[in-house]
Structure 1
Amino acid sequence: MVLVPLASVGAVALARSPRAVGATAAKLTAYATGDLATTHLMVCAQVLSVATLFAAGFFLAWSFGRELESGTAGALFGLAVPRGTIALAKCLVALAWIAGCTILAVAVSMAVSAVVTASSGAPFAGAWAGARTALVAGLLGGGLALPFAWVATVTRSQLGTVGGLIGVVALTQMVVLLGGGSWFPYAAPSLWTGMGGADAAAAVGPPHLLVAAAVAPLAVAAVVHAWRRLTDV
């Protein structure tokens, strides 16, 4: 997550640099103007909406898939703790890890942004609203990774789970291109942060974000149910 603040500040610096020409300038044009601190945190939110999904997805593929894939999950049947409770604990640990990394990434991004804006004489007040957006986007992105704990349980494959994650990301791109991104949970957080432009961000409201937020508790319930039914390990 240390890369998040570096990417946030670096992208804005490149966008406002005379070295940004051609295709690079076109891709970064949204970061070339506006309040400096606000733009830093906007980029942070966009990066986190995707980074937490990937990082948490890989973590959950390992956490839930390794025992089932290696055949060592049979030892869980000898524990006094029910397997459903173990699955719930794994999910809660993952959520705590996601929340901690997101908070750390936003805090470091704000600290780096404060140093940069102070050196340039720009105001810093606009960063606070951006920090809230970044926190929400990061938490939503991490929560959207929880269904892959269920995928790891069903497929009993870490590689298969990572493949499912990549497939969902590809599907998200197609849904956005077809204009259905605001109601698609895996697209809404990123669009809300402005990754698809100002018009796409304006089309995402609280109902769309609530749909995305609902994925996490539903996924936890599905994972716990699947682990309770584990028999052949």
Structure 2
Amino acid sequence: MTTVAHLRTALSVEALKLRRSVVARLATALLVLLVPLGSVGIVALARSPQAVGPTAAKLADYATGDLATTHLLVCAQVIAVAALVAGGFFLAWSFGRELEDGTAGALFGLAVPRGTIALAKCLVALAWIAACVVLTVAVTVAASAAVTAASGESFGPRAWAGASTALAAGLLGGGLTLPFAWVATVTRSQLGTVGALVGIVALTQIVVLLGGGSWFLYAAPSLWTGMGGADAAAAIGLPHLLLTAAVAPLAAAAVVHAWRRLTNV
């Protein structure tokens, strides 16, 4: 078999695993349903009489402005983190399960090289995350359009720009999940990988509080959407976003290298 044939075979097998994965099904449902509902619901709460005291203060940024644009602003802020968490859980399962339960030993007898299998896992995971992000933003746009129409407002160019930002933020957040495939490979543990994911999310919060979020890649997508305020968003430029986007291919190369060096122990 040629290299292309090996990759095609591995992609078809990993795509089948994805379709049968309970983890992927749950993560997809949570992203596609909860993010749009949360985006519309938070704005509705911010603009309702029930938003008083601490709640009103926390949601003050969403209480004014164009309705549809605000919906997509919230969507961008939420999906930048949600795509990271959902993708991290899936990669912990995809790469950690076979290594943890010992069934990865069967891979050593296959004609398809282990590095090719790892590349196929990465590509399928990225394609799934990207599809989830696109679908989540599309559902949010549809829900926002319905709400704004019922309110007598229009879904204008600023809202479409917000949708583009949400799409980019979600894709950047999804790309940041691939290092956890490497973590799952070297630890051979799903739980250890989830622990690393939780640790990174917590570390991101600490770094942002200390003022170093602009160059911390796991903080850049959410700060860019305005989650840390206008000043923090203004500090995120093209170099920060390009560095964030470079994480996925670099991590994929590291994962492929690690899988080539796997031993059956």
Q: Residues 107-126 of structure 1: matches in 2 within 5 Å?
A: 107-125=138-156, 126=158
Letter in 1 for 2:159: A
1:71-220 equivalent positions in 2, closer than 5 A: 71-125=102-156, 126-220=158-252
Give CA deviations for 1:41-68 in whole Å, capped at 9, x if unaligned: 0000001000000000000000000000
Please identify runs of 4+ aligned residues in structure 1 that moved more than 2 A.
none
For each residue in 1:32-88, what CA deviation from the matched residue of structure 2 results, as whole angstroms up to 9, or x when unmatched? 011100000000000100000000000000000000000110000010000000000
Q: Is the 8 A contact 1:183 1:211 kept in 2?
A: no
Summarize deviations over 1:126-184 as a string: whole Å, max 9, x none: 21000100000000101101100000000000000000001111111111111110111
Aligned partner of residue 185 in structure 1, secondary structure:
coil
Q: Which runs of 5+ in 2 are unaligned?
A: 1-30
Output the amino acid matched with 2:168: V
Task: Tell me, yes or no, if the aligned pair for 1:153 and 1:227 is still in contact at 8 Å.
Answer: yes
Q: Give the TM-score of the pair, scaled to structure 1.
A: 0.99
* Structure 1 residues without counterparts, runs of 5 or longer: none
Q: Look up the match of 1:229.
A: 261
* Distance (Å, rounded) in 2 between the aligned partners of 1:203 and 1:55: 27
Q: Distance in 2 between matches of 1:138 and 1:183?
A: 18
When normalised by structure 2's length, the TM-score is: 0.87
What RMSD, in angstroms, separates the aligned Cα atoms of the two structures?
0.7
Whether 1:63 and 2:94 are equivalent positions in the alignment is: yes
1:123, distance to aligned residue in structure 2 (A): 2.1
Correspondence for 1:11: 42
CA contact (8 A) 2:76 2:166 kept: yes
* Helix, strand or coil at the partner of 1:112: helix
Output the CA distance in 2 between the equivalents of 1:210 and 1:225. 23
Q: In 1, Cα distance between the equivalents of 2:84 and 2:138?
A: 19
Between the aligned partners of 1:23 and 1:162, the Cα distance in structure 2 is: 32
